[in-house]
Each structure stands twice: as C-alpha cells, then as structure tokens.
Chains A and B, each alone.
Chain A
Amino acid sequence: MRLQDILVGLQKSANSLQERTVEERIEALVAWARAWVTPQDPYRLETLRRLPASTGLSPEMIERGLDVAFESVEAHRLRDWWQREGGAPSSAQLSAHILSSNVFVAGLPPVIGSLLAGVPAFIRPPSDQPEFAEVLVRSWNERQLLGGSYLGWMGWPRDHQGKTQALLHAADRVFVFGGDETVHSIRQLGAADPDAGQVFGFGHRLSIGAIGREALPSVARWDSTFENLSRDALSWDGQGCLTPTWIFVEGDPQTAEELARTAATFLPRIAEELPPGRELDPAEGAARAAYLGQAGFEGFSSQGRGWAVASFAGVQLQPSPPARSLIFLPVDDLSVLPTLLTPLGDHLQGLLYVGDSARRDILEDSLSALGLSRAVPAGMLQRPPIDWNHDGVRILHSLL
C-alpha cells in the first residue's frame, strides 16, 4: 500500500472516530491495553518473539516494557488526563508519530493520547525496528476497535525525505522521538512547508538518582530499595531516558562506597531477572573495564555479567558510565545539584529520590529549570504513567 493511500484513509476515518464519545474511546483503549498485558495475547506473543532480534533487548526486558506501558492505560487515569488537558473536540484529522530505536514503547503515550482525542495516528518506526509499530497497528485494526482502522504505519530510511515531507504535510500534529539532530531536522522539514503539522519533539535525555542524608540511618533495612535501584538501572539495558545515570549520595565518599558495596550484592539477582539481550562487544567491554578500573582506584567498583557498580571519591560526570550500572557519587549537600548539573542544560528527565518526600519536592522544584519532569521513589522511575508530560509538551492538550 502506498503511503499516500494510508494517510488519506486515516484522515477519512477521523470523523467516525470523533463521533465516538470520550467514554467509548476510553473503554476501547483500556480493552486494547488489557489485551496487551494478557500473557496469551497473540500480538503480545508475536512482539515477544520478534523484537529481541532487532532491538537487542532480552524477552524479559521486552515483556516488562509491555507490561509497564500498557498497565498504566487505566480508565480513571485516561479520564483524569482528558479532564485535565482535553475536554474539547479536536480539530485534527491525523497525528504522525516518528519513533526512535530500542525503547520501543517510549512513543506510545502520544499514540494513546491521539486516539483518546479522537485523532487517527500514523506511526513511522525506525527503519531497522519496524516490528512493534506493525504489530501494534494490526492489534488495533484487526480487532476493529471502535469499528475502524484508526492506526497506520510504514517505515522508511531516514534519507527518504520525500516520504517524511509527505507525512508532515498530511499530519496536523507530529510527535518526534530521537536525538536533538533528528528532532531538529524534522522541525526544519516542517518549517519549509506552511501546511505541515505542528512538530513536538522528544529528544534524548538523562535521569539521576539522589539519596538524602535523612534516609541513610535506615540503610540496613533497605533491601527493597536496593532492588528497586537495581531495576531502575537495569531496565531497558540502560538505554532509556529514565535510566539513572548517577546516584548522588548526600554523604561522604565512604558512605557512597558502602552503598556501592551493598548494591553489588543485589545487582546479580536483578540482572538475572532483567537479563541483557546481548553480550558486550570487546570495545564496550574495554570501555566498561576502563571506567570501572578508574573507579576502583578512587572508590570502589565491581561487575558481573549484565551489571556493574561503582563509587567515586567525588563527583565525576565524564565519561558516561557504562550501561546497566549503578554509580554512586558523594555530595556534601543535595542542594548543590542544580549548579552541578547546569552544564547539562535542560536535558534532565527524571529523578529517583530515596528519602523524605518533602525534600524530594524541594529538589524537584530546584531541578525543574534543567528540564526535570518526574520525581519519584526508587523503583518507580522506569514506570512512567501514560499521562506523563515531558520535554515541555502537554501531549493531550497539543492534540486539540
């Protein structure tokens, strides 16, 4: 099928989707999501079978990703979202979703938001990872939820700009996931066409963790905290923008080292629960060994198959830590973080906090200028709700 035919077909279906009530759309979305978290759902099984090869993620990781993404599609949450940001019919007939690699569900919220707003959605997956988009679209259309085929997809290489231009021209809203360069190039393409849809970009970002000094006296009772920290670090093989790059510890280097040593006793088990999808190649292994070797001289480091942990005597932001690692950095006071992280610009995404929620709120406020859009306890960072607005975009509102 030609791209133009798919786009026109979706545009034509917009009226029938808009005619459905919001409650009907919510009901359909929840039913769809429930099917996706049902172990024997054929589309889920197909995804689990096909994605490991192209994404390099393990089946366990993919399964967890699906569960986290679709479990948050709950009726009450969608209703709240609609009341908060929606409430009016959308003028749009088509939304476009340009997705990036590996964290394949990252682009799901705008797709859900689009259907909730009554706007058919077209998905352009990365050309080397089309599987999830294909199965996702079929899982809606073959079920004829709300009586129509409101999702479409097609993949093409990045340099086929003619197709991208056609998509931007046809869509009323465009959601782009990718590096700053990708987002910028799509914006430029859109700017060249006065009829192109409005572009909303979701660039690459990073997250952090922080442990308040008020939490340290109870560290002996922290088993679940260490497990949660480990899950946050290992999810998506460290490739998600919600992966904590560093864990800042409000204490001295010895405290950071003690936490790292304890984490080293939890990580092997969580690494089995969330195994890596592929082996490190020698260049990655060498880079990881160099990073951990350096840490071993300054603080502590340890590693195993699919996990690594380190502490340093002070703050060290470069080079980037290896994937699937927990890196503990001591700071005298967490209030230094906004200044410390200022060089990162507005690329901060999430914060996991171990300690009092009141201090978490204060830290969240002080980091919001750096882009922070989510502050949660350990274990929740990699479980964002469907209505999480980030990168300065109010997703549902933008569709109206």
Chain B
Amino acid sequence: MTSSLSVSDQLHRRVQETITESTKSGGWDLADSLFDDLSRSLFEHQYSSCPPYRRFCDGRGITPFTLSRWEDIPAVPTEVFKSVDLFAFSADEAQIVFLTSGTRFGNRGRHLLRTDATYLASLAPGFDRFLLPEGSEKPLIYVLAPPVDVDPASSLSHMLQWAHDQRGAPRSRFFWTPEGPDLDECASALRAATSPVLLLSTARAIQALLETHDGAWVLPEGSVVMETGGPKTSGMKFDRRLFHDEVAARLGLPAFSVVSEYGMTELGSQGYSPSLLLHRGAAARESEVSLSADLHVFPPWCRVRALDPDDLTLLPEGKRGLLCFWDLSNVDSVLCVLTADEGIVTERGVHLLGRSSSASPRGCSLAVEEILGGSA
C-alpha cells in the first residue's frame, strides 16, 4: 500500500500542478499531450490499485499496456458506483465519503476521496471563473442548501461550504432548517440585501422560493444566482432557459446573472454555463448570452464526449448522445465516468439535454420488475 500511496500522492501533486498551470493568468487550456500523459498515469494507478476496475478493464481487453488513446479508457456507468467499491486505496483511509442522492433502487452510489486536496483545487478555478466578477470584492454568499455538518455525505454541500467559507464576505450564511430550506428567512435576507449577493441553490429550492413568495425582488446590481441539479434530481420537465429568464425577472437581475452548475457525486470537477463570463467578454452578443443557459463549460482537466447509445462509440462533435467524462481530478477512483445524461458536445461546450425516461418497447415479453416489483 505504501508504494501505491506514494504513487497516489505524486499523482495528486501532478494533477494539482496541472490545474494551476492550465488556469494561470486567466488561462483555461491544457495541451492534448499533457492531458493524454496524465490520464494514462491515472489509468495505470487506478487499474493497478483498484481490483474491481482492473477486472472490468481486463474484460474489455484494455490495460495500461494496450491503451492507445485516452478516449479508450474504459468508462464506468454512474449506476455502478451504487454496487461496486471504486477506489484505489483502503476504505479506512477515506477522508471523505460522498454519497449520491439517487434512491431509485434504494441504494446510494459512493465516491470515496482519500484526500480532498485535488477536489478543492479543481473546484476553485471554475467557481471563480464563472461566478465571481473579476476584481470584485468577496460577495455576500447565501446558500439555499444544507451545510456540510447537516449533510456531510453530499458533494454539493462540500462545494457550497467551501464557497461560503473561502469566497463569501462576512455575514454569508446558509438558509437551512431541519425541515429543509428556510425559504422565508432567505426571502427576507434577499429583500434586505444592499450589496451584491451570490445565491447558491438547487433549482428546486429556487423554484420553491419563487412559488412561496410572490412579487419581485430587486437584488443589488452585480448579484448572481447559481442553480444546480434541475432535471437530474427532480425528474421534472425542465426548460433551463425559461427557468433562468423567470429567476432573472423575479429577482430583478439581467439574464446573464443566472448561472447553471452541473456536477455529480462521481466527478470531482464541475461545469458551468458561461453567461456571466460571456457577458464580460467584449465580443459576446446578447443572443449568445441568452443561448448559453444549457451550454456548460468544463475545466480543461475534465474532457467530455458524447457516446452513441447503441454501442458506446465516440460521436463526432454536434451529435446527441450519452455524456462521458474523463476527469483528471478523480485521482483515486476512476477517471472515466459514463452518465445517463444526454447532451451535445461542441467546440464551445456541452449542451445539456437532461435525462429522458422512455421505456423500451417490450411487446409480449414480460419485464421481471413487473412481477417482482422495482422499476420496470
């Protein structure tokens, strides 16, 4: 284990250095060769130190010795995190255990981190780039989600706690009670705000806030709203652009000030819609800003491709498919994660199309779940 730990430590350091290097001086880029090199090293570590993953890769005929390109690293579907321990270290060394919120089959996916250093190093640049206006004072951060001490297994709570602690001005706070989001308090605080606010929340909690409190707010100029988790967790029909327009109108903000975040327990990195960033850019057109609600940009150390649902082969840019992530911040788990989310990958980012729930036609063949219960 000592040698594997030292390999892990070295990889953590390399990934953190890569993150620093690729975001230096406002940069947002990582050379293909560097990504390829580091992803190979991570794959080798994960293959050799995570026996279930090694078996999975062997079954697909792909090992660190036969890997020809990083896109061929075997992808693990997110569902598998519910039943298989995917970490390249001993479980008792885990500093953090993230659990998924999904309860569809009664069990939750686990993502164990031996150290949160790389997770935090990966988190900060995206948060700063897409949510914090350049050169501004620390905003007042209001969080409409549980803090870490309430939900220590939630990766979202970890992220929001970090934002509150590290990026928030004094008097930043969580609006959460044992019963759930404290909508009344949050509404009062937003109405009373006199300096720019950064409201961080799930889409569902914002929706609840708007539904339970009539009228319009006018938040101080420079305020920003970040929503996350809309269609994925609620299963509702979700038009993100309309949602952003509604949030902006009700809170007295320009549309570009509503930003969407995409993250998941199984990934260390997050993506953001770039409306605020585009608005800052002189060349940005208003139409581009408004179209960006469904567009998410991921950091250079997290690459995304759409896969053909029929055979999981890579699709060319512009084609709709299942989103697959190669995230270098997943040092000690698996770096290649296949989601059930649909999207279109373009040069500019990833257009998230949510998750459909169509059922396969079965003719007169019986689904086992129809008899035994469960989800057919």
Contacts and interface: CB of A to CB of B under 8 A. Distances in A.
Interface of A: 56, 100-103, 106, 177-179, 202-206, 236-241, 243, 245, 279-290, 293-294, 296-297, 299-306, 317-320, 322-323, 343-345, 347
Given A240-B365, A282-B342, A284-B358, A204 B77 contact: no
Contact of B363 (A239, A296, A303, A345): A239
Q: Which 6 A-B pairs have the closest CB atoms?
A: A285-B309, A239-B363, A286-B340, A290-B79, A293-B77, A102-B363
Contacts of B79: 290, 293-294
Contact of A344 (B309, B357, B368, B376): B368
Contacts of A319: 368-369, 374-375
B342 to A, nearest CB: 4
Interface in B327-376: 338-340, 342, 355-358, 360-372, 374-376
A343 B364 contact: no
B211 interface: no
12 contacts: A101-B363, A103-B364, A206-B368, A237-B361, A240-B363, A282-B320, A286-B338, A294-B77, A297-B83, A301-B59, A304-B311, A322-B360
A297 B52 contact: yes
Nearest to A295: B59
Given A285-B310, A290-B79, A317 B368 contact: yes
Given A282-B342, A294-B79, A177 B310 contact: no
Given A283-B355, A305-B311, A296 B60 contact: yes
A102 B361 contact: yes
A240 B358 contact: no
B80 A239 contact: no
Contact of A289 (B77, B361, B364, B369): B77
B84 A204 contact: no
Q: Which of B83, B312, B363 has the most CB of A within 10 A?
A: B363
A206 B376 CA distance: 14
Q: Which of B55, B320, B360, B374 has the most CB of A within 10 A?
A: B360
A56 B368 contact: no
Contact of A317 (B340, B366, B372): B372
A204 B356 contact: no
A103 B361 CA distance: 11
Nearest to B309: A285
A281 B356 contact: yes
B76 interface: yes
Given A280-B309, A303-B311, A286 B77 contact: yes
Contacts of A102: 361, 363-364
Nearest to B376: A320
B358 A206 contact: no
B366 A241 contact: yes
Given A303-B311, A318-B372, A345-B371, A239 B357 contact: no
Given A303-B312, A344-B371, A205 B356 contact: no
A323 B55 contact: no
A100 B360 contact: no
Contact of B309 (A279, A296, A301, A317): A279
Nearest to B76: A293
A217 B342 CA distance: 45
Given A204-B364, A293-B77, A323-B360, A305 B369 contact: no
Given A204-B366, A240-B364, A281 B358 contact: yes
A283 B365 contact: no
A343 B311 contact: no
A109 to B, nearest CB: 13
B361 A101 contact: yes
A294 to B, nearest CB: 6
Contact of A305 (B307, B310, B357): B310
A289 B363 contact: no
A302 B310 CA distance: 12
A177 B55 contact: no
A293 B74 CA distance: 10
B344 to A, nearest CB: 11
B321 interface: yes
A297 B80 contact: yes
Given A282-B321, A319-B375, 14 more contacts: A179-B370, A206-B366, A238-B365, A239-B362, A240-B365, A280-B310, A282-B322, A286-B309, A290-B77, A290-B78, A294-B84, A296-B59, A297-B56, A318-B374
Contact of B364 (A106, A296, A320, A322): A106
A294 B59 contact: no
Nearest to A103: B363
Nearest to A204: B366
Contacts of A56: 361
Nearest to A107: B364
B361 to A, nearest CB: 6
Nearest to B375: A319
Nearest to B363: A239
A238 B361 CA distance: 9
Contact of B357 (A103, A236, A283): A283
B310 A306 contact: yes
Contacts of B52: 297
Given A101-B363, A204-B366, A289 B312 contact: yes
A239 B365 CA distance: 5
B340 A290 contact: yes
Nearest to A278: B361
Contact of A290 (B80, B308, B355, B369): B80
Contacts of B355: 283, 286
A241 B339 CA distance: 31
A241 B322 contact: no
Q: Which of A100, A296, A323, A344 has the most CB of B within 10 A?
A: A296
Contacts of A177: 364
Interface in B285-339: 307-312, 320-322, 338-339
A296 to B, nearest CB: 5
A100 B322 contact: no
B371 A343 contact: yes
A248 B321 CA distance: 34
A289 B322 CA distance: 10
A184 to B, nearest CB: 13
Nearest to A102: B363
B358 A283 contact: yes
A35 to B, nearest CB: 26
Contacts of B321: 282, 285
A91 B76 CA distance: 62
Contacts of A286: 77, 309, 322, 338-340, 355
Q: Which of B77, B361, B364, B365 has the most CB of A within 10 A?
A: B364
B59 to A, nearest CB: 5
A191 B150 CA distance: 57
A391 B83 CA distance: 37
Given A239-B361, A290-B79, A204 B370 contact: yes
Interface in B18-51: none
Interface in B73-112: 74, 76-80, 83-84
Contacts of B367: 320
